[in-house]
A = this chain, B = another copy of it.
Amino acid sequence: MIPRYSRPEMVAIWSPETKFRIWFEIEAHACDAMADLGVIPRENAEAVWKARDAEFDVARIDEIEAVTKHDVIAFLTHLSEIVGSDAARFVHQGMTSSDVLDTTLNVQLTRAADLLIADVEALMAALKRRAYEHKDTIRIGRSHGIHAEPTTMGLTFARFHAEMSRNLKRLRTAREEVATGAISGAVGTFANIDPAVEAHVCERMGLTPEPISTQVIPRDRHAAFFCALGVVASSIENIATEIRHMQRTEVLEAEEFFSAGQKGSSAMPHKRNPVLTENLTGLARLVRMAVTPALENVALWHERDISHSSVERAIGPDATVTLDFALARLTGVIDKLVIYPDNMLANMNRFRGLVMSQRVLLALTQAGVSREDSYRLVQRNAMRVWEEGADFQTELLADDDVRAALGEDEIREKFDLGYHTKHVDTIFARVFGE
């Protein structure tokens, strides 16, 4: 987690304070459930809640852990300092550290997913707004980096919106994957604790009970979670790459917003670098980094080994914090992206109508000209455009053979941009459902 690529709300989910707060809630809810079952006295369960509004002293807990070498015991010791050792005496009874740790991790991941879901929704709102704004802004579509046929900037935004709507669904599924808790004891048999405790704690913490756990919650869930983050990151890279291309000097169809005050902008107006989207490209790589170790974490030995733990200490915060930041940054970029429709037109017309050559070729064959002849007709006009800078439509109109085959109106019609945009509304309806 790198401070400059972090936002406070997501960082807070991973703070020691939050962690201890969740630990406390799990323990206190467990006490309630045990009191319900008559396993521990009601008054002890109630007394634990005295810490409800307490601040846990992280430094103090660290101090105790330095002695006990055990984080959960250190916390419980500190808890008993707050609520009194009598009240605390039944806390954690029959539970295993992992009951607390694993359930906590999933609470954190679930909350992180909530933020990410909100991030994607915000991004989608920006994309939608820009899509409608530029629904009819003509630009050239490119395959292989080469001009192909006209499309519109709105369609570009719309497809990013569609991609993000799939990511929204993936994140919701990912959230569901990890929204489970387990209070099932040392090897998952509930030997020392009733399943009712798990049910109560999970319900209060917004989770569902893990159907079958060992000492830990199975890690295929977390692997799927981080895979989903990796896909979202790749989509961010996809959008960032488009913008980086649009901003390159020779294309200049868009620019990341450049605030008036930013030094250098006016003395070197050509030198506005797409640093945000380049940065997003790098951040995407960082988020994706979590995928492989998360997959390697699945195969634990028997009822658990602890190899997954150090990995999750890193990728849990790092991947979620970075992705949250990246989504927010991308939303800002989209929101304020400066679009240059004139440059889009200029680029499209760079080869004076040549992008329509395929359409003309098709028209000639449909008009009954043989494939070979059609090709030859297009070729001789195209070459004049390519080599002498002539205008393709003008050349075609001046070519008797072409005119004979197609007629002037049809030649002109082949250069009508409306031909390319006639289904934009259809596509928008499919994407935005409106």
Q: Report the nearest B residue to A151, measured CB to CB.
A: B187
**Contact status of A282 and B309, CB under 8 A, knowing A220-B235, A314-B2:** yes
Task: Select which of B143, B245, B282, B288 is within 8 A of A187 by beta carbon.
Answer: B143
Task: Select which of B212, B228, B296, B359 is within 8 A of A162 by beta carbon.
Answer: B212
Chain B residues near A347: list those with CB within 8 A.
Answer: 249-250
Chain B residues near A4: list those with CB within 8 A.
Answer: 313
Q: Does chain B have a CB within 8 A of A427?
A: yes
CA of A68 to CA of B270, assembled, Å: 20
Quick one: CB contact mask for A227-238 with B, threshold 8 Å, 1 for yes?
A: 110110111011
User: Nearest-CB distance from A245 to chain B (Å)?
Assistant: 6
What would 18 more interface pairs be, CB under 8 Å, given A159-B214, A285-B293? A5-B313, A143-B305, A146-B270, A147-B249, A158-B212, A227-B231, A230-B295, A234-B295, A234-B299, A249-B351, A250-B251, A268-B357, A269-B383, A270-B386, A273-B306, A279-B309, A282-B306, A285-B307
* Interchain CB contact under 8 A, A275 and B144: yes
Report 18 cross-chain contacts, Cβ distance below 8 Å, ordered by A residue: A69-B263, A70-B263, A141-B214, A142-B303, A144-B301, A145-B248, A149-B189, A159-B218, A224-B231, A230-B295, A231-B295, A238-B298, A269-B385, A270-B351, A273-B306, A279-B310, A285-B292, A289-B289
**Contact status of A296 and B234, CB under 8 A, knowing A151-B187, A170-B224, A279-B310:** yes
- Chain A 122-166 residues near chain B, CB threshold 8 A: 140-151, 155, 158-159, 162-163, 166
CA of A110 to CA of B283, assembled, Å: 25
Chain B residues near A224: list those with CB within 8 A.
Answer: 166, 170, 227-228, 231
CA of A55 to CA of B185, assembled, Å: 53
* Interchain CB contact under 8 A, B270 and A355: yes
Chain B residues near A144: list those with CB within 8 A.
Answer: 244, 273-275, 278, 301, 304-306
- Chain A 280-294 residues near chain B, CB threshold 8 A: 281-286, 288-293
User: Nearest-CB distance from A254 to chain B (Å)?
Assistant: 12
Chain B residues near A361: list those with CB within 8 A.
Answer: 267
Q: Report the nearest B residue to A69, measured CB to CB.
A: B262
CA of A172 to CA of B238, assembled, Å: 25
User: Nearest-CB distance from A114 to chain B (Å)?
Assistant: 20
User: Nearest-CB distance from A169 to chain B (Å)?
Assistant: 9
In the complex, which range does the number of interface residues on chain A fall in?
Answer: 35 or more
CA of A144 to CA of B269, assembled, Å: 14
User: Nearest-CB distance from A405 to chain B (Å)?
Assistant: 15
User: Nearest-CB distance from A327 to chain B (Å)?
Assistant: 14
- Chain A 54-110 residues near chain B, CB threshold 8 A: 68-70, 94
CA of A310 to CA of B237, assembled, Å: 14
Q: Does chain B have a CB within 8 A of A272?
A: yes
* Interchain CB contact under 8 A, B211 and A141: no
Question: Which of A41-49, A396-404, A418-426 is the interface stretch?
Answer: A418-426
Q: Does chain B have a CB within 8 A of A410?
A: no
* Interchain CB contact under 8 A, B304 and A143: yes
Q: Does chain B have a CB within 8 A of A271?
A: yes
CA of A94 to CA of B304, assembled, Å: 41
Binding site for B on A (CB under 8 A): 2, 4-5, 68-70, 94, 140-151, 155, 158-159, 162-163, 166-167, 170, 173, 177, 185-192, 195, 209, 211-215, 218-221, 223-224, 227-228, 230-231, 233-235, 237-238, 240-242, 244-245, 247-251, 262-263, 266-275, 278-279, 281-286, 288-293, 295-311, 313-315, 318, 347, 350-351, 354-355, 357-359, 361-362, 375, 378-379, 382-383, 385-386, 419-424, 426-427, 430-431
CA of A362 to CA of B39, assembled, Å: 14
User: Nearest-CB distance from A251 to chain B (Å)?
Assistant: 5
Chain B residues near A163: list those with CB within 8 A.
Answer: 218, 220
CA of A150 to CA of B386, assembled, Å: 27
CA of A427 to CA of B211, assembled, Å: 7
* Interchain CB contact under 8 A, B311 and A220: no
CA of A191 to CA of B151, assembled, Å: 9
Chain B residues near A378: list those with CB within 8 A.
Answer: 267-268
User: Nearest-CB distance from A272 to chain B (Å)?
Assistant: 7
